[in-house]
Homo-oligomer: A and B are copies of this chain.
Amino acid sequence: MQPWDFVVIRNRATKRAVNSLFIDANTKASARYTGAKEVLYRGLKLEGIEEAPINLCITCSRRRGGPSVLGRSTVRATDLYSTCCAVQNLWLAARAEGIGVGWVSILDHKKLKRVIGVPQSVTILAYLCLGYVSKFEVRPDLEAAGWRSRIPVGRLIHEESWGNRIQDKRGDEDAHHQGLYKNGRRRKN
């Protein structure tokens, strides 16, 4: 379907303008929290717009290919989904080359369009910061910071129909989780 476009941003003035959009949106987002949670929120690293040598704005042109596009006729959002898959491919490819990628979602896309000149008819899907990093963390930042804990995978996998979760039948959740990470085959029981 290829509904995507990639805008590569190196210009400092553009990054500065985008960062200012982030600050505005993040002020609103942080107002959702109070007390200790607000303090924790303010300490989180949520963008790398000006530090990253490359920023990437990834869009989805929802009318590309005309009114009848194979794969988009029944579920209209498949063009957005397809673009997300392209983002994730890029993310993993970058990671394999030792390049860190961060997705900044705390941005007003309407204002971002004006900064980058994206037409009104085109949807902004992702804004990424790319660059070499000092290290890659093993645990997700939000988990390490104590913001939120990971949901055990067994609670998210259902057998045959919704509600028949594999965790309910097993119990030794962690062992199963470990098994998945080791690429072990799950035994039937």
Partner of A88, one of B78, B89, B148: B89
* B-contacting residues, A1-52, CB 8 Å: 2, 4-11, 14, 25, 28-29, 32-33, 41, 44
- Which of A73, A122, A125 has the most B CB atoms < 10 Å from its CB? A73
Q: Which residue of the partner chain, among B71, B75, B92, B157, contacts A5 with CB atoms under 8 Å? A: B157
Residues of B contacting A44 with CB < 8 Å?
70
User: A144 at interface (Cβ–Cβ under 8 A)?
Assistant: no
Q: Least Cβ distance of A94 to chain B in Å?
A: 12
> Which A residues fall within an 8 A CB radius of B?
2, 4-11, 14, 25, 28-29, 32-33, 41, 44, 59, 65, 68, 70-75, 77-78, 80-81, 84-85, 87-89, 91-92, 105-109, 116-119, 122, 125-126, 142, 147-148, 150-151, 156-163
